[in-house]
Chains A and B, each alone.
Chain A
């Protein structure tokens, strides 16, 4: 029914004007046989702002087909992000929830650089390999895209396409070792059960991956659990990859196959311009040829003020506690600063050590304001290699990735 609808719709659209299209379809057939009784009510449902399953009502929905939703900063105040506040970046249509049975779900490992091809049920995976739990930060490569100028195409993420959850699963490297990895392996790629928006069953909505070195890290997981619960449906239930610190698009959802490749994986959205930035910096607005676009690996250093919510109004003389998180791709954050004078002076924040490698870190400080008025609090993290967040937009790139400009909130002292 679903594919048939799309196929009809496509024929319909190819034929030109709406009137001609409607006449081109066998009205009697469609009308008499296929029109369900509940036609009109469902039509009215079609593009309505809808309920996101298992997500917080304050999530900002950027797009409902495919589903893309982010959290406003204050929702991300927890050190470990709850499942209902974890952003959703879907490239395709998730498999129907009713079709997912964790007891029969399998994952297959194969590819040119796999010694064997093996298939495990989810239960075999849990029982055969040692289980690990890590707090890992996932951030969409396009988080912050909204601010780029000239504008970059795609979902216009502001700041909330990031989260750090406690993921439980098995180490990808343990599973790869069980299958056997040839010495010529350079990349792994994934395949999920989500389907392409066009309805074309031959197209994958997304099939990305990571270099073999990243795949072999201790914290690279095949995970079935977030924060002690099964994965949220929109975040890949029942099985996904988690590569902390890399663009979240590397961490395939509804995972059912991993390929060990002897070359850079060539699945959907691996090719330029997707998830790539100019190999060399370019002036804003430049047309960059595909061959001069390089794959994003580690995400840059970044931070988020999650308390107070922007718009806080306090009395003069009061001290304002501020707190939030900082992360640095596959590095750690070594220092955290804030400014209340538009970057003229910076004060040091308290900063916790990460729970484990690739987990975001918590910062806090107590701010005194000299007099009544409007202030902006700017937050700036510095990574373990000394790179800090810029205050203006970083290098422009055609697809609007990697905006790590410092987060700002507005406060008033009255």
Chain B
């Protein structure tokens, strides 16, 4: 009965199994890593040649939010590298939208599903955006959910919570 327990094998079988499994895993890992590299190259191939990158000197912008090593990760629901909300269909949005422009352009805009569709049509008609095919509704799902308009009226209050209060020293009393 004890021989029927899952995972219970005699020592020789176990050794063979582990050996084969280890080899299989190595092959799989290599393959997956290879795909990963190809994917990265296809997405970001034009940025490899950093001699050509126009941005390379000057001061770091003050709103930099992460350091070199941990940029491609999600923090507080935001994917740091793109600045986009990490949610269902993120990968598709990232692939199609950040191919031409920064994710920051997406993240700063707000629209209804219809409004986002209009932006996509405008990009297709004038900016060379391709047919999004079966991914279009997925992209719209993501955008309409995560970047929907808020009702703010004719003019919002000054964002008092965001004001950095400071003591202003004046000559006069």
Contacts and interface: CB of A to CB of B under 8 A. Distances in A.
B109 to A, nearest CB: 6
Contact of A311 (B122, B126, B166): B166
A206 to B, nearest CB: 11
Interface stretch (A40-48, A115-123, A218-226, A327-335): A40-48
A42 B55 contact: no
A1 B39 contact: no
Interface string B18-47: 000000000000000011111111111111
Given A10-B99, A97-B54, A200-B128, A21 B41 contact: no
Contact of B155 (A14, A60, A98, A405): A405
B102 A42 contact: no
B143 to A, nearest CB: 11
Contacts of A315: 170, 173
A318 B172 CA distance: 6
A410 B160 contact: yes
Contacts, number: 260
A215 to B, nearest CB: 25
A31 B35 CA distance: 10
B52 A27 contact: no
A293 B130 CA distance: 26
B40 A39 contact: yes
A313 B166 contact: yes
B49 A31 contact: no
Contacts of A58: 62
B3 interface: no
A408 interface: yes
Contacts of A25: 38, 42
B35 A19 contact: yes
A151 B110 contact: yes
Interface in B39-75: 39-66, 68-69, 71-72
A156 interface: yes
Counting chain A residues whose Cβ lies within 8 A of the other chain, the interface size class is 35 or more
Contacts of A196: 127-128
B5 interface: no
Q: Is chain B's binding surface mostly helix, strand, loop or mixed?
A: loop
Contacts of B37: 31, 35, 39
Contact of A22 (B42, B56, B64, B166): B42
Interface string B68-84: 11011000000001110
A317 B172 CA distance: 9
B98 interface: yes
A54 B158 contact: no
B101 interface: yes
B91 interface: yes
B104 A63 contact: yes
B166 A149 contact: no
Nearest to B147: A151
Contacts of B45: 1, 4-6, 8-9, 34
A199 B129 CA distance: 11
B54 A16 contact: no
Contacts of A34: 41, 45
Nearest to A268: B126
A94 interface: yes
B14 interface: no
Contact of B59 (A30, A48, A57, A203): A57
B105 interface: yes
B81 A46 contact: yes
A279 interface: no
A48 B60 CA distance: 11
Interface in A382-414: 391-393, 405, 408-410, 412
Contacts of B58: 51-55
A16 B108 contact: no
A12 to B, nearest CB: 4
Contact of A51 (B47, B59, B158): B59
A308 B169 CA distance: 11
A93 B47 CA distance: 13
Contacts of B44: 5, 9, 42-43, 46
Given A49-B64, A52-B59, 14 more contacts: A8-B42, A27-B34, A27-B38, A31-B37, A38-B50, A43-B44, A51-B59, A151-B111, A151-B149, A153-B111, A309-B166, A314-B167, A318-B170, A412-B165
22 contacts: A1-B48, A2-B46, A9-B42, A21-B95, A22-B42, A34-B41, A44-B68, A44-B69, A49-B60, A51-B55, A94-B54, A96-B52, A150-B111, A153-B109, A153-B118, A156-B109, A197-B101, A198-B100, A309-B166, A317-B173, A318-B173, A409-B158
Interface of B: 34-66, 68-69, 71-72, 81-83, 91-92, 95-96, 98-105, 108-112, 115, 118-119, 122, 126-131, 133-135, 149, 151-156, 158, 160, 163-168, 170, 172-173
